[in-house]
Amino acid sequence: MSALAIDVEGLTKRFSGRTVVDDVSLKVPAGEVWGFLGPNGSGKTTTIRMLCGLLKPDGGRGTCLGLDILTEAEAIKRQVGYMTQRFSFYEDLTVEENLDFVARLYALGDRRRQVRATMDRVGLTPRRQHLAGSLSGGWKQRLALAACMMHEPKLLLLDEPTAGVDPQARREFWEEIHALAREGVTVLVSTHYMDEAERCDRIAYIAFGKLLAVGTVAEVVAGAGLSTWIATGPGRDDVARRLAGMPGIATAVFGPSLHVSSTDADALRRAIEPLRGDARLTWREAAPSLEDVFIHLIETATAARDRAA
């Protein structure tokens, strides 16, 4: 295994007595792109903020870029690029002025050259005199990425960077991310998009503060042990209603089809057998998708939380 850019164990954080990150351990090799996934409120942002030195953990230990997350947070900040969920630049300054301000914060030498080189790299040069507040979502995203990579960090922590961005801008963003990874930069990116998760070397899935799955997409799908059937046709919603609440069975609508999954293949067949006589539907067994797995994981975690409550 190559050197680890992130190596943390038992990471825990509480707010007002509520545990929002619960015993999370991650080992991320340098130069890899990792997807960090989970529902809203699952603890992704809090974990990222602990990794980059903005929050001190209440429990756990480890290193980020070889630096201790408990005692060397300031040094970590200087070597990490952190892109927040919300656009956080001065909207009444131009693109170039915003980047010059960031260069000043990092005390970069030859600021003008650094700013221009960064704008060239991410395609911002034609818009360098545009006010940041006038940019579209995709161009704001490029500005945010430029700002967090201008000091040449070894690790990028990107918190839902493509939310609300059009497909073309998302594709261009990911092309740049993989170009950076080829140069040795490590990337941890949180996302809700399944196609983005599948672009990552590995993924980590968190829910209710607990890490539920880690590995390549193929490993996570195989590790879930799911059986999946797909029902297609106008009776889809009736099937969903009849299966709702059945223990161990998860359902999800995908366009005209309904995916029905369970870790118990025999129980799943028994559950759907009375429904397969509906002439409005066609049924087929299928390999589970990554989204099927995530739906299963969140429903399992929700049931476990409710039992413990």
Would you give per-residue pLDDT tens digits along the chain (309 residues)? 459 999 999 999 999 999 999 999 999 999 999 999 998 889 999 999 999 999 999 999 999 999 999 999 999 999 999 998 888 899 999 999 999 999 999 999 899 999 999 999 999 999 999 999 999 988 998 999 999 999 999 999 999 888 878 888 888 889 999 999 999 999 999 998 888 999 999 999 999 999 999 999 999 999 999 999 999 998 899 999 999 888 889 999 998 999 999 999 999 999 999 999 888 999 999 999 999 999 999 988 888 888 876
End-of-domain residue from the set 176, 194, 215: 215
User: How far apart, in Å, are the Cα atoms of 159 and each of 37, 154, 210, 260, 278?
Assistant: 10, 17, 18, 31, 45
CATH number at residue 296: 3.30.70.920
Pairing of strands 202-207, 33-37: parallel
Residues 15 and 138 in one domain: yes
Query: What are the φ and ψ backbone dihedral angles of 108, each rounded to 5 degrees?
Result: -75, 140
- Distance between CA atoms of residues 154 and 184, nearest Å: 7
Domain that holds residue 294: 221-308
Pairing of strands 18-29, 155-159: unpaired
Residues 201 and 281 in one domain: no
For the chain, what is the domain count? 2
CA pseudo-torsion sign 48, 52, 57, 62: positive
Residues 197 and 234 in one domain: no
End-of-domain residue from the set 215, 237, 256: 215
pLDDT at 305: 82
Instruction: Using alpha carbons, select from 228, 98, 81 the residue that is nearest to residue 158.
Output: 81
Pairing of strands 186-190, 155-159: parallel
Tell me the one-letter amino acid at 270: R
Residues 164 and 239 in one domain: no
Cα dihedral 121/125/130/132 (nearest 10) = 10
Total-model pTM = 0.90
pLDDT at 1: 43
CA pseudo-torsion sign 45, 48, 53, 56: positive
Contact 128, 100 (CB under 8 A): no
Residues 115 and 89 in one domain: yes
pLDDT at 2: 59
Residues whose CB is less than 8 angstroms from the CB of residue 5 and which lie 6 or more positions away in sequence, other chains included: 28, 29, 30, 31, 32, 64, 65, 154, 155, 186
Residues 209 and 227 in one domain: no
Return the CA Rg of the chain: 22
End-of-domain residue from the set 215, 245, 271: 215
Residues whose CB is less than 8 angstroms from the CB of residue 265 and which lie 6 or more positions away in sequence, other chains included: 227
